[in-house]
Amino acid sequence: MLVPACAAALLITGCSPREAICGGGEYPVLNVGSTGSACISNGHEPPTGYTRYPRGKVPEHVGDTWDVYWQSHTVDKGGNIIVAPKS
């Protein structure tokens, strides 16, 4: 169900529900050293080469502040946030 503000905006701007980064029962993880990501089932640790996003910097919806940020940033093997290397 669309919220009333979005329903009105839909007629004017094409507002649509926001797409979640991961499905229910999953959380997003970041590829170490690149901008790649994946979704992992809750209760499981990230696979080798992936890590959890830093606390407070987890993308929740496609195009949100953190989703955009992590398109140009990543973490190194030491867990430091760095500008992602160019492919």
Q: Tell me how long the chain is.
A: 87
Specify the pLDDT at position 68: 97
Cα dist. 86→49, 71, 81 in Å? 18, 11, 15
Specify the pLDDT at position 12: 47
pTM above 0.75, yes or no: yes
Sheet holding 37-41, edge to edge: 37-41, 26-31, 50-52
Query: Under a CB-based contact definition with an 8 Å cutoff, are residues 28 and 38 in contact?
Result: yes
What is the amino acid identity at position 44? Answer: H
20's CB contacts (< 8 A; 6+ apart) are 60, 61, 62
List the pLDDT tens digit at each of the 87 positions of the chain. 444 444 444 444 455 678 999 999 999 999 999 999 999 999 999 999 999 999 999 999 999 999 999 999 999 999 999 999 886
